[in-house]
Amino acid sequence: MDSRTVGTGAVAALGAVALSLLAVPAHATDAYDAVAAGRTTTRAVTAPVADGLPVGEGLAAPDTAGLREVLRTALTQGAPGAMARIDDSGTVHEVAEGVADKSTGRAISAADRFRIGSVTKTFSAVVLLQLVDEGRIDLDTSVNTYLPGLLPDNRITVRHVLSHRSGLYDYTNDMFAKTVPGFEAVRTKVFGYRELIALSLKKPLTNTPGAAYAYSNTNFVVAGMLIERATGRPVGTEYEDRVINPLHLTDTFYVHPETAIPGQHTKGYLKPDETGAPLVDSTTQTLSWAQSAGAIVSSARDVNTFFSALMDGKLMSAARLTQMQGWTTVNSSQGYGLGLRRRDLSCGVSVYGHTGTVQGYYTYAFTSKDGKRSVTALANTSNNGTVLNTMARTLESAFCGKSGATAKAAPARRLSRSSG
């Protein structure tokens, strides 16, 4: 294990070194040697604490050893690689296991870019809620007021869409009923928003609008359409101008319909339905089947920055942030707001963020109530419910510390085929 820590007292003398460690991943050869030897590459860098606030105020110290064991377990269950980054009031912890690229053996790094899947939904919700702040959208107005004739029921409001209470059928259930053939059929296809809505409307509403939570990617396709109708600009441009550029998210891109991930990135590996079949490299795709529901590329650092800024009130008014946290019950330990998940952990701490599933990538990205501690964890596989549930335990290690090391996360909804 390669473990390096720079204490706060040394930062003044070693400022340049500390900054370089924060910005640059561990040397690829060193990381690969560690993986080949069966060891973990771990990096913890302590930077000056902003405003004199204690690190992890109100939370147990992160359990990086427990986090490492979670990632190792994911590898034994079929993930080629797994990594996590914790940002804790100026302290950064990075843990990585396994490989980013099976063909070259390059070690996975917490600095790699990857497809964040449905974490994109929170970006879309933030943009829409900013438009609510500007008076261009009203949460309780019918979607059909803004997009006439789009949906089959005028009772479906913007709020219903953002909270997955519209009743709109999730078209990805049919699209990926057969995992690999479904993926290959859309890997290079470019959809229009209305084509995706049409796929959903082949099936009736799953419930009366507003009556119940039912997760559906269709909702955030509608969200993308609302953004473009209200602004007259592409959704990617709105992400850039409203979130990416203001927060200096240098690893974050909406590349649709381009197929490649720019820069150093982790490859994604899709598990076929057939037992024993080899993993499929699913990295290259348009992700046009998801778009504003799941097509953003980012890094753990950027995603942590995003969720910290969100919960710190930097991205919308206090009133909108409160509305974003109007929870609909998902199960005994989870709630869903407006494009935002809440998870209640074993130690009594609630964390806020989103999960993401897209072919070859499982992401957990959550932050504390005050945004001071954030974690983003990734396994580069999908269609593997065992790995998905294992990765949920990264939250226990990150926010509950050693008390959460043996906690078992509640089984997650199966997010193996579509953006989750």
State what percent of residues in the chain have pLDDT above 70.
83
pLDDT confidence of residue 420: 78
**Residue in 188, 202, 157, 209 with CA at minimum distance from that of residue 323:** 157
What are the start-end ranges of the H helices in 134-234?
A: 143-146, 158-162, 172-175, 179-186, 193-200, 217-231
Determine the pLDDT at residue 27. 29
| 2-19 pLDDT per residue, tens | 332 222 233 233 233 232
Q: Return the pLDDT at 39.
A: 38
Tokens 């917490």 belong to 110
Q: How many CB atoms lie within 10 A of CB 370?
A: 15
Q: Which residue has the tokens 């990632």?
A: 71
Across 23-27, 133-137, 298-302, least confident range: 23-27
What is the per-residue pLDDT for 32? 31
- Residue-wise pLDDT for 180-238, tens only, equals 999 999 999 999 999 999 999 999 999 999 999 999 999 999 999 999 999 999 999 99
Q: Is 20 a catalytic residue?
A: no
Instruction: Check 20, 89, 109, 118 and give the catalytic one.
Output: 118
In angstroms, the Cα distances linking 75 to 69, 83, 318, 378, 416 are 10, 11, 41, 12, 17
- Structure confidence at residue 38 (pLDDT): 39
Residues 393, 398, 403, CA angle at the centre, nearest 5°? 75
Nearest to 176 by CA among 61, 274, 273, 281: 273
Supply the angle between the helices 193-200 and 217-231 in degrees, to the nearest 10.
Answer: 140
Kindly compute the dihedral angle of the four CA atoms of residues 121, 122, 125, 131, in this order, to the nearest 10 degrees. -130
pLDDT at 36 over 60: no
Domains within the chain, CATH numbers bracketed: 115-297+309-334+354-373 (3.40.710.10)
Q: Which amino acid is at 373?
A: R
**Interval 99-121: pLDDT, tens:** 999 999 999 999 999 999 999 99
pLDDT of residue 292: 98
